[in-house]
Structure 1
Amino acid sequence: MKPMVKLTDVSDEDAPEFVRDCFEAWYRSLYPDRQGLVVSDVRDITSGWETRLFYFVLNYSYNGSSHNDRLVARIFSGKSARYEHEILSRLWGAGYPVPRVYEADDGGVLGQPFLTMEFIEGRGLEREFLSGSQEDLEGVLDVMMGLFVRLHDIDISQIFPDRTGVSTLEYIDRVLSRYKEVTADCGIAWMEPLIEWLEERKGSVTPMLPTVLHGDFHPMNIMLRVDGSPVVLDWGASKVGDRRSDLSWLMLLAGTFLKPSVRDAILAAYEAASGTEMDDIQFFEALSILRRLTDVAVSMEAGAETRGMRPGAVEMMREAAGHIRNVYDLLVELTGLRLPEYEEFLNSL
């Protein structure tokens, strides 16, 4: 049964108290053998466009021992938490460095789906990307590419036991089909020239074996624990597909949020770590640009929730207008295409 009051109905100021009260009642019913259970130190630690994060401490006694578990609730907008919960559980079982996950709920507690996981004490890798030091960049790329290649080498059946691998062309067709549907439904037909550009060239893309994809691999989704060991976060977009899709997304984000030269450094580091040349990477960069521009345009036109993002994401997009313009400029550079309606949209930001 869903609560009468939802988290989305509560002000940001009152949200921590609301989460505390809901979680205390839920945990007490879930674990009646935990004595003196209290939820404390609840605070909103959200930083991204998609999900909302709350840190909290779960205090209780069990079998004569006191526990003060430091946890994070990852709260989703418009999609189930169980998909990511299952992926994280399987990655943990496969020995890949992810946070340990615990419970998942599809809306009965807060009115929104969420999962709970361990709190990672440490820091993200974005500092090295932003420092401007070549030594820092090379060091962080060594860590990231090691994690990236390790992920792409995992046996697909360990993470997605019910799925078979798809060919490169099948994967591209699925992506393009999804964006054709999204752009048509949301009335942004002016994205069609880019879709047509990709359709015309997809048949000549060199095929590669399918892999497990992260879907949003970038420095802010990788943390270093206090002991220096890395942990990869945010697996809601994980799926099976062509690894160049993962790689080009990282290249796009880093190159447009930071500086263009980082794109080439990332590509070179991945090829060195994997021992494989990434042919036709520019095609996948254009595919990633389609994803980014569509997500932004649809969120602005129809609301962020339609793309599975949290309320407030649109304002964050406006604050990242420079990044969005850089994405469009890269589109022009790679394809020669211009989208007049999108240029008008950019000028309105």
Structure 2
Amino acid sequence: MYKDIENRLGVKIKNVKVLKSGWAGEIISLEFKDNAQKYVIKTYNSSKNGLENIKLEWTGLNLLYNANYPVPKPIMSNFINEKPYIVMEKIEGENLWDCYQIVSKEDKEQLLEKFTKVFFELHQLDISMVDKELIKNSTISFIEKEINEIKKLLEENKLEYFTQIIDWLQKEKVNIISKKLSIIHRDYHPWNVIVDNNEELYVIDLLWGIGDYRFDLAWTYTLIERSGFENFSKNMFKKYKELKNENINNFEYFKVFSTLRWLINVMISLKTGENLNETRNKEFENFVSPLIQNGIKSIQKITGIQITI
């Protein structure tokens, strides 16, 4: 991998540093001889979805960068390497949550406003830059596509205890007010946003797609809420609503929808051990168990349905 990068960029690597070694892959910092520019390599582990995920992120990175959305500049990719990878510019800075913890109350407010504004602006981008045919799609087509994908995952992984929630989503979808679809991040949160040295924000770790912005907003809201930071979630939602300048309808429905999708993703990781070695699997289980319980409680509060795993 490193030799390939040197050959294609015409530079010699002088320093390699693993910034993050997670369950899905690695993030590695690169420095070069006689070149001040720093880059980041992102790899995905060799799972059945690894190649698909890294190709998706590379496509999204290029689309958003070319639309002047604040993401790192894409540099190169290699999808036929034994370990597929992408290379992007390194943004010097810290993740937004770490910054948020140490700044003053006034600066917290400004940081939260920036965080929400960048999220809102993603949903305002023209989806026809992905595919002009997408403008014909609707909220209902997005919901049906997601539900079909969820059903398939439930069947493949024998997660039948979520079936009642699917039935609830199917029943309640008749009450959903349709909205035009947006580009969505699918995992936007303060740990996926970098604040650079000039206090500008950059969005990373794209699991992007096309969908209803309320699903994306609910994903972010519930993820932060079940992590124990309910005030941050509520204030983010309030500021998003101000930017939108209208009521956000059916938000409880999308909270259930996004929480269910998250729960299924996590349960599959725990069940299959995909991308997890034995040590990381236990680590991951200890970290995620209380979050799972919080997710289950959140769904029960809205639907009245008790899930037993």
TM-score by length of 2: 0.90
* Displacement over 4 Å in runs of 4+: 128-137
Distance, in Å, in 2 between the alignment partners of 1:73 and 1:310 is 22
**Which structure has the larger Rg?**
1
Please state if 1:194 is matched with 2:193.
Answer: no
Tell me the amino acid that sits aligned with residue 125 of structure 1. L
Number of residue pairs aligned between Structure 1 and Structure 2:
302
Distance, in Å, in 2 between the alignment partners of 1:295 and 1:116 is 26
Give the C-alpha shift of residue 314 in structure 1: 6.1
1:1-349 correspondence runs (5 A): 22-23=1-2, 25-31=3-9, 34=10, 37-46=11-20, 49-59=23-33, 66-77=34-45, 78-80=50-52, 81-108=54-81, 111-127=82-98, 130=101, 135=106, 137-158=108-129, 160-161=130-131, 163-165=133-135, 166-235=137-206, 237-305=207-275, 312=280, 315-340=283-308, 342=309
Give the C-alpha shift of residue 265 in structure 1: 2.0
* Maintained 8 Å contact 2:26/2:43: yes
* Maintained 8 Å contact 1:71/1:117: yes
Q: Which moved more, 1:45-54 or 1:128-137?
A: 128-137
SS of the aligned residue for 2:205 comes to coil
The structure where helix makes up a greater share of residues is 2
Distance, in Å, in 1 between the alignment partners of 2:194 and 2:236 is 18
* Maintained 8 Å contact 1:304/1:314: no
Tell me the amino acid that sits aligned with residue 26 of structure 1. D
Distance, in Å, in 2 between the alignment partners of 1:228 and 1:261 is 23
Q: Assess, with a 3 A threshold, how the Cα gap between structure 1 residues 152 and 83 changes in structure 2: closer, same or farther.
A: same
* Residue segments in structure 2 that go unaligned for 5+ positions in a row: none
Give the C-alpha shift of residue 79 in structure 1: 2.3
Distance, in Å, in 1 between the alignment partners of 2:209 and 2:282 is 25
* Maintained 8 Å contact 1:130/1:258: no
Deviations along 1:275-324, whole A, 9 cap, x unmatched?
A: 1221010100001111111111111111234xxx8993663242232222
TM-score by length of 1: 0.80
Q: Which moved more, 1:114-123 or 1:136-145?
A: 136-145
Percentage of pairs with the same residue: 23
Tell me the amino acid that sits aligned with residue 61 of structure 2. L
SS of the aligned residue for 1:45 comes to strand
